[in-house]
A and B are shown apart, each in its own frame.
Chain A
Amino acid sequence: NAGVTQTPKFQVLKTGQSMTLQCAQDMNHEYMSWYRQDPGMGLRLIHYSVGAGITDQGEVPNGYNVSRSTTEDFPLRLLSAAPSQTSVYFCASSGETDRDRSGNTIYFGEGSWLTVV
């Protein structure tokens, strides 16, 4: 089972560059989200989606953009990279509460280590 797959695993960007972190899940989950985790810190929600065409902001959305055109894919775009965006990024998914027993479990991708210089 692939689960949640995110790419790239490592990326170095220059300040001002843009890039997209890719995320795909094969569990037919409606809920998908992006978190960032700074060293020694917890997970902070950037954006999330509850289905194709529906996205909303999390705790730290500034500087990031998302879209959800399919159930499987949820890319995260950095519009103009800044050193403050150096972090580890996790994509995650979860099932629908009423229809899927996995609705109380979050499945994470392996993470993307991003450095902005």
Chain B
Amino acid sequence: GQSLEQPSEVTAVEGAIVQINCTYQTSGFYGLSWYQQHDGGAPTFLSYNGLDGLEETGRFSSFLSRSDSYGYLLLQELQMKDSASYFCAVRFRDNYGQNFVFGPGTRLSVLP
């Protein structure tokens, strides 16, 4: 089976840097994605790592270590609007090609 773990809550202040970790156990691993979800909204795609290393997209960066089955999302220069839930998701190979499984989510609260 597939399973992911991430912290349930993280709190930080405006302007700070925060890291949200994700560990996974999976077979047929393709890559790790991150999604942001504001209250009452739908998840939206942030980043994807198919290979080891760091991917940078503006204030957000994501890192993957396939040998450690570990990744993280790094949010810099935090803003109030970054308060949301963040989900890691594994893309993996299954009987039909590909499928996805999501972690339980990390609720980020940004304080003024």
Contacts and interface: CB of A to CB of B under 8 A. Distances in A.
A50 interface: yes
A97 B45 contact: no
Nearest to B101: A45
A104 B31 contact: yes
A75 interface: no
Nearest to A95: B98
A56 B100 contact: no
Contacts of A42: 87, 102-105
Interface residues of B, number: 25
Contacts of A54: 96
B64 to A, nearest CB: 12
Interface string A100-116: 00011111111100000
A41 interface: yes
Interface string A57-95: 001000000000000000000000000000000100010
Nearest to A31: B98
Given A42-B102, A43-B87, A104 B48 contact: yes
Contact of B45 (A41, A106, A110): A106
Interface of B is mostly: strand
Contacts of A90: 42-43
A48 interface: yes
Interface in B89-112: 89, 91, 95-105
Interface of A: 31, 33, 35, 41-45, 48, 50, 54, 56, 59, 90, 94, 96-97, 103-111
Given A43-B43, A48-B99, A109-B42, 8 more contacts: A31-B97, A42-B102, A45-B100, A50-B97, A50-B98, A94-B100, A97-B97, A103-B98
